[in-house]
Amino acid sequence: MPKIWLMIIKNRNTLYTGIVSVIFSAVLIWWFTGDHYPAEMVLRVPGMDNRPKIEPRADSTVIGEFFDSLGVMDEIVAGSWPRFRGADFSNIARDSFALAESWDTAGPPLVWKTALGEGYAGPAVLNGRVYILDYNERRKADMLRCFSLKSGTELWRRWYYVELKRNHGYSRTVPAVTGKYLVTIGPRSHVMCLDPITGNLLWTIDMEKEFGVPGSEKGKVTPDFYTGQCPLIDNDVAVLAPGAKALMIGVRCSDGMILWKTPNPDSLRMSHGSIIPMLIHGRRMYVYNAVGGVVGVAAEGPETGKLLWTTREWSPATTAASPLYLGNNEIAVFGSYGAGGARLRIDFDGSRYSAVVVETHKATEGIASDQQTPVMTGDFIWTVMPENAGPLKKQLVCYNRSDLKNPVWSSGKDRRFGRGLGPFIVKDGKMLLLDDDANLYYFRLNGSQAELISRHSVIKGIEAWGPMALAGNYLILRDSRNLLCLYIGKNPAS
């Protein structure tokens, strides 16, 4: 081969090698300067893994935009559970209907069952209707669904498109309903107010847009695991706690007008807990365990909405259980993931209120709850202890309200209840407790003791964490993907 051709081939190979080297170097520079590596490895914590980054939403979300009329009301049966923890926030049913004394091997009769999107939202019941928030993964829609309590017939849906990433399910809240109004908070802090019979939309609020502070971590509204706060309707006013620009707000249900806003000088943020009205020093106030502190806000009179007291001494990173009034102007508060609990005392000197943290304890040292708010019967407080509570983990445990550190009774190491995240509810001195796998336990409470009456596997369920509702003869419960209605009265339904 002539020398000239050898030189051409050699130069061409050198040129190709140079081009490839330049391209490779450019790609390498692009890779190292961009964000292309997997996220930093972190310790996997139960219940806190797979947390997606909440992306900014487009402004096209129209809350409550669509309505589907699906069925006709058949029969209105008695019984109500109008909001989170029932009519008086105690999680104790006050209906006059008597519960069955026990169950046979078949368990309480199943009245109806329907499929849901994955989530833990609980039902509210009034005037023979069951209301529950649901996220439809196929449509990518947040839905309020209305069913007949008697038959399970779906009557209507009010829904709208909103993009969500699965984060241990989607919906988590319980609606609030009265004879005139129905209020919900969706996973992304979207508020709807509707007519509870017709489903007609009265007004909406996007709390992320209205009260969030762009670019500010402390001005963020929706928590990482989506909204867990349940709305409150008080004298036809919706009471909500957005955090960020307003610690708490009161919205007139008739027209959506914001009547008052509570300032937020400490930049507290929305937690997964809910606002609980309490009577302290003879004054009615809204008590809320926010992210960053606990607050009391005036709930009546011309000063409604005024911040009466706050403490930042109790400030766990995550809280889901709501505050519990202990009497004697004292409050129990709870934190998740081992944070345990605390006792607060509210003092009043005749002109101003103040909060004193009397004691705190970890989950291994006293009463705790990762998710469900404990129930108080007389002087006794009942809870299912979390996974990280040491020897008492996952047990049903009873404490005296005067001593939050030393239990007076526990179910024992041989009787534990899932991961300690399932709900429990009380009526007529009996407790219904649901574990993670939808096994339903029936206890008789005798002072500080609980005697197991019956046990039944309701469904081959998973993550049965949503709050239950007990309305008349009916217990409405769920696992992560099913809603069930059981007849638990003395005489089986015909």
Q: Are 395 and 415 in contact (CB under 8 A)?
A: yes
Q: Are 222 and 189 in contact (CB under 8 A)?
A: yes
From the list 347, 62, 122, 89, the residue with the least C-alpha distance to 239 is 89
Residue type, 340: G
Q: Are 432 and 468 in contact (CB under 8 A)?
A: yes
Residue 219: predicted pLDDT: 84
**54: how many CB neighbours lie within 10 A of its CB?**
16
For 275-317, the pLDDT digits (tens) are: 999 999 999 999 999 999 999 999 999 999 999 999 999 999 9
Residue 218: predicted pLDDT: 78
Alpha-carbon distance 188 to 227, whole Å?
A: 6
Residue 288 dihedral angles phi and psi, to the nearest 5°? -145, 130
**The residue to which tokens 């009463």 are assigned:** 367
Regarding beta strands 248-252 and 237-240, do their DSSP bridges make them parallel or antiparallel, or are they unpaired?
antiparallel
Regarding beta strands 182-185 and 190-194, do their DSSP bridges make them parallel or antiparallel, or are they unpaired?
antiparallel
Instruction: Give yes or no for residue 36 having a pLDDT over 60.
Output: no
Instruction: Give yes or no for residue 387 having a pLDDT over 50.
Output: yes
Instruction: Give yes or no for residue 17 having a pLDDT over 80.
Output: no
**363: how many CB neighbours lie within 10 A of its CB?**
26
Q: Give the mean pLDDT of 106-123.
A: 96
Q: Are 160 and 65 in contact (CB under 8 A)?
A: yes
- Give residue 375's region: left, alpha or beta (phi > 0; psi -120 to 50): beta
Q: Give the mean pLDDT of 429-434.
A: 97
Q: Give the mean pLDDT of 104-124.
A: 96
Q: Are 99 and 489 in contact (CB under 8 A)?
A: yes
Using a pLDDT cut of 90, give the percent of the chain over it.
82
DSSP state of 403: B
Q: Give the mean pLDDT of 469-476.
A: 97
77 falls in which pLDDT band (50, 70, 90)? Answer: very high
Position with higher pLDDT, 54 vs 102 = 102
Position with higher pLDDT, 34 vs 411 = 411
Q: Give the mean pLDDT of 227-232.
A: 97
Cα distance from N-terminal residue to C-terminal residue, the chain: 102
pTM score of the predicted model? 0.87
60 falls in which pLDDT band (50, 70, 90)? Answer: confident
For 335-358, the pLDDT digits (tens) are: 999 999 999 999 999 999 999 999
Q: Give the mean pLDDT of 118-147.
A: 97
The dihedral of CA 353, 356, 358, 361: what is its sign? positive
Q: How far is CA 72 from CA 147, 195, 494, in A?
A: 10, 16, 21
For 150-207, the pLDDT digits (tens) are: 999 999 999 999 999 888 789 999 999 999 999 999 999 999 999 999 999 999 999 9
Collect all residues with Cβ–Cβ distance below 8 Å to 41 and sequence separation of at least 6: none
7 falls in which pLDDT band (50, 70, 90)? Answer: very low
For 439-455, the pLDDT digits (tens) are: 999 999 999 999 999 99
Q: Give the mean pLDDT of 83-89.
A: 97
Helix (H, G, I), strand (E, B) or coil at 417: coil
Q: What is the DSSP string of 322-347?
A: PPEEEETTEEEEEETTTTEEEEEEEE
- Cα torsion for 114, 169, 135, 74, to the nearest 10°? 20
Six-digit token string for 52? 């997606």
b/e 203-227 (16+ beta carbons within 10 angstroms → b): bbbbbbebbbeeeeeebbbbbebbb
Using a pLDDT cut of 70, give the percent of the chain over it.
87
From the list 180, 211, 305, 204, the residue with the least C-alpha distance to 256 is 204
Collect all residues with Cβ–Cβ distance below 8 Å to 458 and sequence separation of at least 6: 107, 110, 434, 438, 439, 440, 477, 484, 486
From the list 138, 159, 139, the residue with the least C-alpha distance to 62 is 159
From the list 10, 350, 274, 335, the residue with the least C-alpha distance to 121 is 274
Q: Give the mean pLDDT of 239-261.
A: 98
**The residue to which tokens 């099913």 are assigned:** 482
492 falls in which pLDDT band (50, 70, 90)? Answer: low
| Mean pLDDT over the full length of the chain | 89
Residue 38: predicted pLDDT: 33
Collect all residues with Cβ–Cβ distance below 8 Å to 180 and sequence separation of at least 6: 195, 196, 236, 253
The dihedral of CA 60, 61, 65, 67: what is its sign? positive
Q: Give the mean pLDDT of 261-272.
A: 96
Residue 21: predicted pLDDT: 52
